[in-house]
Amino acid sequence: MNKATRYSVVSLFSGCGGLDLGFRGGFTSLGKKYSHHPFDIIWANEINPYACRTYRANVHHQIIEGDIVESFTQLPPCADVVIGGFPCQDISINGKMAGVVEGKRSGLYVWMVNAVKALRPKVFVAENVKALLLSRHAASLRKVVEDFSTIGYDVSFELYDAADYGVPQNRERVIIVGVRKDLNASFTPPRPVTGHGRRITAREALHDLEERDEDVSINHIWSRAKPSSGQGLRFLTADEPATTMRSECHGNIQFHYKLPRRISMREAARLQSFPDDFRFTCGIRQMERMIGNAVPPVFAWHIAQSVLDTLKSAE
């Protein structure tokens, strides 16, 4: 294979760009450098205007803002890879649990199927929540796999914990990968990199910010929400990875393991493995939402590396 070979990527439901940044590579998180990948994002789409603004400032200046239903006609003619985290509100245990068939939001996954059918990429990658594997969602999972299989893809899915891949957060997510059948290639999941259960702790990720005053310029600002019952009363443990960042926390983001406050948006971004130079260009509530919705870039980087291995084996 020509070492200069590059691959085009179309991104759906892009959010603020965590998955896209991981595929692009070329960033530093918690002092570790993640090299550039030979992936070029040629088209991206997201409906949230705040996420689009952040995406343009950090990932790529070109992203189409709007509903995928309306933006679909603007797709390019082809792409090597299609990626996206289709909406999970109807699947998440914190949502209505309606599934992809009856759910209004998660049912949007059909547009990812439509994009794959139209673009005929060599590989597609779809991210979703752990709850997709619950028995009550068996029909939804079967429907997703069948829809992609029918249009010519060998489909596999795997449950990952981002903490196994250098992300200082316990975050379990399902990754669905499809490889075009005519390629005679298969996707091999990336191996965990932490080794012997050694995971990055909250203290390791955040200790240098402990005594830093609020600083809007680096998104080091935090919610003043008082302690409340249920999900609003979660505290980080210093010597363990953080608990899962949620998108709809309404200010009830986790409390710091040491300080008498909730964690800042920069601290939340660190726990999601965003580089420190990644700036969220919106208010605190929108930051909470987009950080909680994001795919951790470091985890995405490892998925991208395995996709690259698949593409190389196909050639």
Task: Report the number of distinct structural domains present in the chain.
Answer: 1
Walk along the chain (315 residues) and give the pLDDT tens digit of each residue.
456 799 999 999 999 999 999 999 999 999 999 999 999 999 999 999 999 999 999 998 899 999 999 999 999 999 999 999 987 555 544 445 444 554 444 468 889 999 999 999 999 999 988 888 877 778 888 888 999 999 999 999 999 999 999 999 999 999 999 999 999 999 999 999 986 668 999 999 999 999 999 999 999 999 999 887 776 789 999 999 999 999 888 889 999 999 999 999 999 999 999 999 999 999 999 999 999 999 999 999 999 999 999 999 998
What is the model's pLDDT at position 197? 67
Helices 284-293, 49-58: axis angle to 10 degrees equals 70
**Cβ count within 10 A of residue 134:** 15
Is 207 domain-assigned?
no
Q: Which 8-state DSSP code applies to residue 67?
A: -
Residue 218 lies in a domain: no
Confidence (pLDDT) at 92: 45
CATH number for the domain harbouring residue 17? 3.40.50.150
255 is a domain residue? no
d(CA 304, CA 41): 13
Task: Give CA–CA dist 180/127, Å, rounded.
Answer: 18
Both tokens assigned to 216: 């809007």
pTM of the model: 0.93
Give the pLDDT confidence score for residue 98 in this predicted structure.
46
Q: Residue 16 catalytic?
A: no
In a domain, 252, yes or no: no
Quote the pLDDT of residue 167.
98
**257 found inside a domain:** no
Tokens (6 digits) for 241: 């990875």
CB 163 within 8 A of CB 170: yes
Please report the beta strands in the chain, taking only residues with DSSP state E, as ranges in sequence order: 7-12, 27-29, 32-34, 39-46, 64-65, 81-84, 123-129, 153-161, 172-180
> Is residue 215 in some structural domain?
no
| Residue 237, Ramachandran bin (φ over 0: left; ψ between -120 and 50: alpha; else beta) | beta
- Calpha distance 60→18 (Å, rounded): 12
Please give the Cα distance from 87 to 81 (Å, whole number): 19
Domain that holds residue 123: 7-195+296-314
**pLDDT at residue 251 in the model:** 83
Set 16, 52, 88, 249: catalytic member: 88
Q: How buried is 42 (Cβ within 10 angstroms: 0-12 exposed, 13-18 middle, 19+ buried)?
A: middle
Residues 97/77, Cβ–Cβ less than 8 Å: no
The angle at the Cα of 297, spanning 296 to 303, to the nearest 5 degrees, equals 95
Contact yes or no for 163/171 (Cβ under 8 A): yes
Q: What is the pairing mode between strands 64-65 and 39-46?
A: parallel
Q: Is residue 281 part of a domain?
A: no
Q: Is residue 205 part of a domain?
A: no
> What is the predicted pLDDT for the residue at 129?
84
For the chain, give me the number of helices (H) and strands (E)? 10, 9
